[in-house]
Chain A
């Protein structure tokens, strides 16, 4: 699409046009985050034989809006001796990368904000800096529980990022490109061409690492209620807490989106007789998001040393082995399976 402000000077028109495009991505994202929380409460409710929120609006559909309004009007409390600037900066630093990563996500063959060559690396970089918000929140709140939570979370995110990065190496070996759009197009030709089949172990490891990266159950030791109350955001209230919450869910949608793009063929339809469209992408993301909720309702929380063992001693060796295996297979007559 062309710039809609051709009469203004270039600096202003480009900035305005870019901001408009960003808003067009962020607002649907915020709405999906709000309804993901509703969906989560309903799904976990049904799994536990309850109804979940069903009082505000039809089937409780207005519940997320009521929650958002409540959080907006609550007071933000600063703990004594906390570092005020960093205390308020932490939620912003958590949510900014969660939104920034969406810049390179292709929703369709044409529908992408910024079609850069190194899209996959960019996403990896953005998800890796999300840890700053958590660390700073823990330090700036001047509280033991928050600090312990942030240390746990930082170590966990740094560990699982390595396994996650290695799985992406497998994907880019198959796709021969770092551009997310080209990765999806490399999987065209129906469900049998998706990278989930040749890279099945990497897909499983990517998804489990994604659960760990987003600090979701069963890897949510950063906010283990039974040990350290609410972890790194224990001192936050009102909208500052809500921003952490938003970031967590935005990250969940982001990693599901990435898994759908890299392993499940993105917007491509699974069978040739259906047209490719964004609907497929959204369906795949919703399917993967359901797993996040399912895990939360099913598994008990991991112990901290078990998390570290799983990340370092199991996932990293498996990913390295599978990368070497893929590289080896590409030199054999079976190379068509890996492209």
Chain B
């Protein structure tokens, strides 16, 4: 066994193990963390295929951004696993049906000769990043731009959904804060301190 196949088996073992743990672990935080681990080992496998740009992009986007926000949300929700598992057997026929359809679809797709080509293991002539950049901006420019516009629409939609108008707006304007003067906050009041003292004395007597 040479070095790269040893690394391959190492990463694949971790990938399979963590993927199984994602669905079997009882703690949702642990599930999310195992998903992170499986992304990591998948990135390792891609590195073995000399697809360094894709591997690092996977870590950067899914591990560094998407899963962080996922964890963020999961941590703040109080998830009761018992309640969630209550209706499992009622839903089981529907779940089984959907998963069988998905399994057959995946098998049909992966059986295509396209996925059996050994060309996957051929090293790219120049750097992987250059190759992807060239193809992306020449051959696939239209799908790439369409994907960009769809993402932009999604960003605007997400902002529009959370924007509730000016009424709920409790934000502060830093410009107003900075230009505050002493006279806006402080009010000098004449206390008449001598009068106060004499009054107190009178009370005591």
Spell out A's residues near B (CB within 8 Å).
10-11, 14, 83, 86, 116-118, 121-122, 124-125, 128-129, 131-132, 135-136, 139, 147, 151, 154-155, 158, 161, 178, 305-306, 309
Does chain A have a CB within 8 A of B2?
yes
Contacts A11-B3, A178-B129; is A158 near B69 (CB within 8 Å)? Answer: yes
Pairwise interchain contact A136-B33, C-beta atoms closer than 8 A: yes
Pairwise interchain contact A128-B53, C-beta atoms closer than 8 A: no
Chain B 16-29 against A: per-residue CB contact (8 Å), 1 yes, 0 no? 00000000000101
Pairwise interchain contact B128-A158, C-beta atoms closer than 8 A: no
Give min CB distance, B110 to chain A, whole Å: 28
Give min CB distance, A125 to chain B, whole Å: 4
Give min CB distance, B122 to chain A, whole Å: 17
Give min CB distance, B177 to chain A, whole Å: 9
Pairwise interchain contact A118-B128, C-beta atoms closer than 8 A: yes
**Which residues of chain A have C-beta atoms less than 8 A from B75's C-beta?**
135, 139, 147
**Which residues of chain A have C-beta atoms less than 8 A from B60's C-beta?**
121, 124-125, 128
Pairwise interchain contact B65-A158, C-beta atoms closer than 8 A: yes
Total CB contacts across the A-B interface at under 8 A: 74
**Which residues of chain A have C-beta atoms less than 8 A from B171's C-beta?**
305
**Which residues of chain B have C-beta atoms less than 8 A from A158's C-beta?**
65, 68-69
CA of A278 to CA of B72 in the docked complex: distance in angstroms? Answer: 41
**Which residues of chain A have C-beta atoms less than 8 A from B64's C-beta?**
125, 128-129, 131, 161
**Which residues of chain A have C-beta atoms less than 8 A from B53's C-beta?**
118, 121
Majority SS of interface residues in chain A?
A: helix
Chain B residue with Cβ nearest A130: B64
Residue in B1, B29, B174 whose CB lies within 8 Å of A309: B174
**Which residues of chain A have C-beta atoms less than 8 A from B33's C-beta?**
86, 132, 136
Interface residues on B, range: 20 to 34
**Which residues of chain A have C-beta atoms less than 8 A from B76's C-beta?**
151
**Which residues of chain B have C-beta atoms less than 8 A from A117's C-beta?**
52, 127-129
**Which residues of chain A have C-beta atoms less than 8 A from B84's C-beta?**
none
Pairwise interchain contact B68-A118, C-beta atoms closer than 8 A: no
Chain B residue with Cβ nearest A157: B68
Does chain A have a CB within 8 A of B152?
no
Does chain A have a CB within 8 A of B59?
yes
Contacts A129-B63, A135-B71, A154-B68; is A118 near B56 (CB within 8 Å)? Answer: yes
Does chain A have a CB within 8 A of B109?
no
Pairwise interchain contact A11-B129, C-beta atoms closer than 8 A: no
Chain B 31-45 against A: per-residue CB contact (8 Å), 1 yes, 0 no? 001001000000000
Pairwise interchain contact B36-A11, C-beta atoms closer than 8 A: no
CA of A131 to CA of B68 in the docked complex: distance in angstroms? Answer: 8
Does chain A have a CB within 8 A of B106?
no
Does chain A have a CB within 8 A of B6?
yes
Does chain A have a CB within 8 A of B57?
yes
Pairwise interchain contact A306-B174, C-beta atoms closer than 8 A: yes
Pairwise interchain contact A116-B52, C-beta atoms closer than 8 A: yes
| Residue in B57, B68, B174 with the greatest tally of chain A CB atoms within 10 Å | B68
CA of A158 to CA of B75 in the docked complex: distance in angstroms? Answer: 16
Chain B residue with Cβ nearest A13: B3
